[in-house]
Structure 1
Amino acid sequence: MEWFNDLLWGSGVAHSVILLSLVIVFGILLGKVRVAGISLGITFVLFVGIVLGHFGLTIDPVVMHFFKEFGLILFVYSIGMQVGPGFFSSFKRGGITLNLLAASIVLLGVTLALAIHYITGIPVETMVGILSGAVTNTPGLGAAQEAYNDVHGEAAPTIALGYAVAYPLGVVGIILAIICLRFLFRINHDQETAHLESEEDRHDREAHQLLLVVKNPALFGRTVSELSALMPHYDFVLSRIRYCSDGRTEIVSGQTVLHEDDRVLVITTEHDAPTVRTFVGEEAPLKQEEWLRRESELLNRRILVTKPEINGKRLGELRLRQSCGGINITRISRAGIDLVATPRLTLQVGDRVNVVGTSSAIEAVEKVLGNSMKRLNEPNLIPLFLGIALGVFLGSIPLLLPGIPRPVKLGLAGGPLIVAILVSRFGASYGLVTYTTASANLMLREVGITIFLACVGIGAGDGFVDTLVRGGGASWVGYGFLITFLPLMAVGVVARRFFRLNYFTLMGLLAGSTTDPPALAYANTTAGNDAPAVSYATVYPLTMFLRVLTAQLMILLFT
């Protein structure tokens, strides 16, 4: 039975794999338990690791260090790939206000943590752990641990201890702040829903349909190509035309001639819609069924871009209208957003192209673009590991910044996160197929975070109880709650009173500024609409980046 004893209590690879697997299994099972509708989710992996570590189950330090860092890399890289496509667009329109408010919550939390450090004398590394737990941000924990190890050449167990004791009340504190704001401003859900619907009437999607009657004399007798040349800086596509003379409806081509009182179906952006409307003529009521029905075999299909050779090419380069016959491309759906199909728009694998045309013409477009779901299900491993390698390289570069005595590194959390955001956003322009199915991305993310949390828990288990009972850990819980609750309440009051933010949007903002999925789940259930999810997704990328960056800077500047 010596082999069995070595398997459970030894220090080899087999022992390490079995211990990590058991910690993850029991942690996930406990994470499914809900109390008052709230669950800590996979964070229970951390607590199961702490319990087993407390009773003497350990992993060889070298093996555990590798597992922990590689798990962290997988997690943050998957996060970057998820948020990257929307990272830069999140600063458009009202997103600027939401992101500024979220950044204020981050900075207030950091300021409060530093204030508690100076008042109480708690080491900065411990306060960074408490801060990361209070705002339920695991990448910040990983970034702080990695930065501390780079600076001091050893791990700081109090970072994980601070995170573990502050996390549970952090989840509760976020939801409590949402509830308190509701009672403070006497929120009426029906009124908030009505206001939200009126706002949505004013803010349409990226791709916006208009039915216009040609009234501008300057366009009479001109072709659609000439119209596009007259407005080169505006995004719009003429999809179909109904001639005033005989009532015929046709797909628009570059050679289509415009006449007075012809009706054209236009796809444009909300920003450019007023200009296009003024230049073409006047708007008419849009009845979709009239334009979707035609005497001939006119079809409207969405075709998937699945051929790698199409990735990174501009729509105009494909010359689909000339090569495939009578078709028109009006919209391209990417990551749930409809984009206007302008010739300069760069295609990516995974895009859904909205094509209008005859059956034979659409079949020809399918041959060009691919339209094979099987190809999308095949993993693209080269961009994944190339991005990870570039991220680790970037994170290892020492940067000399004014006022900081030691070189700063982005680390194994910051480097892969930045590279993943850039690769997912701009990789297609350089021929990289960055498309990953949502399930594949989620699998990588969950595998990475569970391995990381298991290692952190096992490493922090020894001495956790002593710290909590006799080492001041109980006071850390209170400090963590203050770091959670006060910034959320302060910014929540400002957002509601001065920016008149809709309460449902505000809930998503607060959940997103703490990157907390349980709080988002509570907000979605309470709201009964997708407004919290939209604002959560808007602030999530910048907040995640700031949480990782500030955790590192606190270690580098104050330890």
Structure 2
Amino acid sequence: MDTIEGLVQSMPEALLFLSIALGYLVGRIKLGRIELGSSTGCILVALVVGQLRPEISPVVQTIALALFMYSIGFKVGPQFFGHLDRHSLSQIALSVIVAVTGLGAVLAMAAILGLDKGTAAGLAAGALTQSSTIGAAVDTLGTLDLAPDRVSALRDNTAIAYAVTYVFGVFGVLTFVRTIAPRLMKIDLAGASAELDREMNGGRPPLKADQFYAYGERVARIHRATGTSAQQTVGDVLHALGGDQVHVVRVRRGGENHTVDASFVLAEGDELAITGPRETVLKAGDVVGPEVVEPAAAAAIGETLDIVVTRKQVQGQRLADLMRAHGPNVYPRSLTRMGHSLGVKDDLVLKRGDVLRVSGLAADVGALAKAIGTEARGSAMTDLVVMTLGIAIGIAIGHVEIPIGATKLTLGTGVGCLFMGLFFGWVRSVQPNLAQYPSAAQQVMADFGLAAFTAMVGLAAAPNALEALRENGLPVLFAGIVVTALPQLVGFVVGRYVMKIQPVVLLGALAGAESVTPAVNALTEEAKSTAPLLGFTLPYATSSVLITIWGIVVALAA
């Protein structure tokens, strides 16, 4: 035994990484169709490994929390600071209602069952499925005027209550939005999603990412002006073709290319590069003259490009209107929001930070990028100057003392870094060439930071875990069921009967309002459509911030 204790004390960091590795394996265990989740797995494993009582510097926990909170803030920043149109306001309002109802339920259950501040904070984090709430609560508990042993016990209870309630938190929301709510609305989820897709796409079947309509696709052809067309203007030709989406991109005359407008008069032998819907361009042989194969045209370079939407004047526009006005010769391939692909639908409304993937001639694609935002030419590099500076400022903000009556409150490292992540995420959406932080890097940092932080919390709580479970295990589990279910029911009633949110969008919004990504993944799988994502991203961003802050509120008020 002495040998084991000696090894533990000589390399405690190895037990931290062991807890993370085994925690991820445990997190993959499924209860039905639902995984336990990596954060729950890490806490459960750490509660076992922690019986060996390794001593790890608290600085490691602070660094892990800072990485996690900054990365989450960076991810949701563009949506959080964005979009105040009518549909967005209703989704924001719904997420606020769900979050406030959740806070009220936590405080009520804490009062009814006599839960301490730490247990109540863990209840909020687990039942409302927001892991970052633990960080805010743990920081705040450390600022209270309590004995160090009492603070340590409250922090331990936070981790235990989170582990008890998180699994049902995910399961409850997933079951409600995928099964119960559709039955209450008497809708077939797949059918309602398909109908919404058709409505948003002008009656056509919806496109998934990188799909296109093979026979409705725009095409490009070159025709030589002969006969009567040689005396007409470009405008006359377009009118004769009869399509408002057909364009003469250029005219080649005497070996030179000319960019033309409707008043340009054609001459015998001019070669017109015409683009437009296939059925319209096929008429050009009769209207203009024979089709020709031009060597220069055969070498024309096409390009597929990701464009970040940043221009204020195009935010809030429908995708179809945007492409008609700014990219008539460019084909949209996909639109991605907060890492979720929404496919391609005519009625998709553009938001700041959306990534639009398009294809077309290089010049046309470049012109579209200038009109709506900035080219997002992929870079695997993270701007560590901005990232580390943001975290440093966030930590400093978290330690600023805010006088409230006779007490002084600090936001804590977690919330300070969350705010700086929100800020730099917004900066990145406005100026995509600044504050580079690729999505893959964000995910790694967020995953590792959360895993390391929750494992550290679990390791610290382990010695007192069994006693705490015996005292409060069943009451906390019951409280978790109430705290998970009540906000969903209230949100459903308000969203359905007061705000009258479209049913499929409402389901996505309810999943986002408690930040349950597995629930929206299950929705899209059940719906066979990305339509539920239309309601998910903005409530997710709003609730990620609000419910995190509830960690401070519960730690102070419970």
Identify whether the pair has TM-score above 0.5, normalized to the shorter chain: yes
Distance 1:329 1:300 in 2: 11
Counterpart for residue 529 of structure 1: 529
How far apart, CA to CA, are the structure 2 residues paired with 1:34 and 1:40?
6
The answer to whether the Cα contact below 8 Å between 1:40 and 1:518 also exists between their aligned partners in 2 is no
One-letter amino acid of the structure 2 residue matched with residue 177 of structure 1: F
* Among 390, 397, 401, the residue aligned to 1:398: 401
Q: Give 1:23's aligned residue.
A: 19
Amino acid at match of 2:449: G
Distance 1:147 1:32 in 2: 31
The amino acid of 1:461's aligned partner reads A
One-letter identity of the residue aligned with 1:301? E
**Aligned residue number for residue 450 of structure 1:** 451
Secondary structure of 2:34's counterpart equals coil
CA contact (8 A) 2:331 2:358 kept: yes
Q: 1:411 and 1:242 mapped to 2: Cα distance?
A: 68
Matched, 1:187 2:187: yes
User: Secondary structure of 2:249's partner?
Assistant: strand
Q: C-alpha deviations, 1:66-95, integer Å up to 9, x for none?
A: 122211111111111212223233543412
Contact 1:251 / 1:357 at 8 angstroms: preserved in 2?
no
1:85 is matched with 78
Matches within 5 A, 1:242-391: 244=238, 249-250=248-249, 257-258=261-262, 287=277, 297=297, 300-303=302-305, 356=361, 373=378, 376-391=379-394
- Change over 3 Å in CA distance of 1:437–1:478 after alignment to 2: same
Q: Secondary structure at the match of 1:397?
A: coil
Residues 1:483 and 2:483 aligned together: yes
The equivalent of 1:460 in structure 2 is: 461
Q: State the one-letter code of the partner of 1:423.
A: F
Q: Distance in 2 between matches of 1:116 and 1:77?
A: 31
Q: May I ask how many residue pairs the two structures share in their alignment? A: 463
Distance (Å, rounded) in 2 between the aligned partners of 1:331 and 1:487: 42
* RMSD (Å), alpha carbons: 4.4
**SS of corresponding position for 1:472:** helix
What's the counterpart of residue 343 of structure 1?
none
SS at match of 1:436: coil
Which residue identity does 1:452 align to in structure 2?
Answer: F
Q: What is residue 266 of structure 1 aligned with on the other side?
A: none
Secondary structure at the counterpart of residue 74 of structure 2:
helix
Aligned to 2:288: none
Residue identity in the other structure for 1:551 = G
1:196-241 residue CA offsets vs partner (Å, 9 max, x unmatched): 1244237999xxxxx9xxxxxxxxxxxxxxxxxxxxxxxxxxxx98
Indicate if the aligned counterparts of 1:195 and 1:502 stay in contact, CA closer than 8 A: no
The answer on whether the counterparts of 1:181 and 1:493 sit within 8 Å (CA) in structure 2 is no
Contact 2:73 2:418 (C-alpha < 8 Å) held by counterparts: yes
Return the alpha-carbon distance in structure 2 between the equivalents of residues 169 and 242 of structure 1.
Answer: 67
CA distance in 2, matches of 1:518, 1:31: 13
Match of 2:303, SS?
A: strand
Shift in CA distance, 245/39, structure 1 to aligned 2, threshold 3 Å: closer
Query: Residues 354 and 387 of structure 1: is their aligned pair in 2 closer, same or farther, counting only changes over 3 Å?
Result: farther
The 5 Å alignment of 1:530-545 reads 530-545=530-545
Q: Note if 1:129 corresponds to 2:129.
A: no
Distance 1:493 1:46 in 2: 35
- 1:250 maps to amino acid: V
Q: What is the CA–CA distance in structure 1 between the aligned matches of 2:82 and 2:508, rounded to whole Å? A: 18
Correspondence list, 1:142-291, <5 A = 142-152=135-145, 154-155=151-152, 156=154, 157-178=156-177, 179-201=179-201, 244=238, 249-250=248-249, 257-258=261-262, 287=277
TM-score, normalised relative to structure 2: 0.71
Contact 1:76–1:445 (CA under 8 A) maintained in structure 2: yes
Query: How far 1:532 sits from its partner (Å)?
Result: 2.5
1:15-94 correspondence runs (5 A): 15-42=11-38, 43-53=40-50, 55-60=51-56, 63=57, 65-94=58-87
- SS, match of residue 186 in structure 2: coil
The 3-state SS of whatever aligns with 2:395 is helix
Mapped contact 1:428–1:434 kept (Cα < 8 A): no
Give the Cα–Cα distance (whole angstroms) in 2 for the partners of residues 46 and 257 of structure 1.
66
Q: Could you tell me which residue of structure 1 aligns to residue 231 of structure 2?
A: none
Report the CA distance between 1:142 and its aligned residue. Answer: 0.9
Long gaps (5+) in structure 1 = 206-210, 212-239, 261-284, 307-311, 316-326, 340-346
Question: For residue 244 of structure 2, what is the aligned residue in structure 1?
Answer: none
Question: Offset at 1:407?
Answer: 3.2
In 1, the alpha carbon distance for the partners of 2:361 and 2:343 equals 15
Q: Which residue identity does 2:532 align to in structure 1?
A: P
- 1:289 Cα shift? 7.2
Moved more, 507-516 or 536-545: 507-516
Q: TM-score, normalised by structure 1?
A: 0.71
